[in-house]
């Protein structure tokens, strides 16, 4: 008996995001989020920091599925009302993108005390993308390959 398309699908839900890709620019649509065995939904940051070269994306207009190379994704913006760990460090910064875009915000990450500097977070080897809160519940994930420089706020 041949397999149907539905037997190959994983149970997911869609997360609305704005995606900026090189060289075409902004694309509006959704990422597919899996529900983990621990009862939580997969994090968008975890999806982007996987080793696989491509990510599945549902484009709004035209209504189609695309597979984007992670290396070509410049940044992603979306709403995130998730809980931030009480032990999270708060690191304020401005990210200067290669295209001239400035992203101001706060990095909120639980880091070990000996690696709690902004420099340490930027240089985490296992993450291609970094997460910055641009508002209370608005997040921007930025591909580190497209960052020109990061500056600290004036004191």
Are residue 54 and residue 29 in the same domain, yes or no?
yes
Give tens-digit pLDDT for 77-89: 999 987 788 888 8
Give tens-digit pLDDT for 5-53: 555 566 789 999 999 999 999 999 999 998 877 777 889 999 999 999 9
Are residue 26 and residue 87 in the same domain, yes or no?
no
Q: Phi and psi of 125, rounded to 5°?
A: -70, -30
Are residue 91 and residue 132 in the same domain, yes or no?
yes
* Three-class secondary structure of residue 134 per DSSP: coil
* Residue 155 in tokens: 């004191």
Domain that holds residue 21: 13-75
Give tens-digit pLDDT for 113-155: 888 899 999 998 889 999 999 998 999 999 999 999 999 988 6
Are residue 140 and residue 108 in the same domain, yes or no?
yes
pTM of the model: 0.88
Residue 56's DSSP bridge partners are: 67
Model pLDDT, residue 37: 75
What is the rounded radius of gyration, in angstroms, for the C-alpha atoms of the chain?
Answer: 17
Q: Could you give the number of structural domains in the chain?
A: 2
């Amino acid at each position: 008996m041949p397999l149907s398309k539905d037997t190959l699908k994983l149970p997911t839900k869609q997360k609305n995001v704005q995606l900026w890709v090189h060289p075409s620019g902004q694309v509006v649509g959704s990422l597919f989020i899996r529900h983990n065995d621990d009862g939580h939904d997969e994090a968008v940051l975890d999806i982007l920091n996987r080793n696989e070269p491509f990510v599945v994306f549902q484009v709004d207009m035209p209504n189609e599925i695309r597979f984007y190379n992670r290396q070509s994704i410049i940044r992603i913006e979306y709403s995130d009302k998730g809980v931030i760990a009480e032990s999270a460090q708060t690191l304020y910064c401005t990210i200067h993108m290669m295209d001239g875009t400035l992203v101001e915000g706060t990095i909120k990450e639980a880091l070990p005390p000996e690696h709690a500097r902004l420099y340490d977070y930027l240089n985490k080897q296992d993450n291609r993308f970094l997460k910055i809160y641009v508002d209370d519940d608005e997040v921007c994930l930025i591909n580190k390959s497209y960052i020109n420089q990061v500056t600290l706020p004036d004191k």
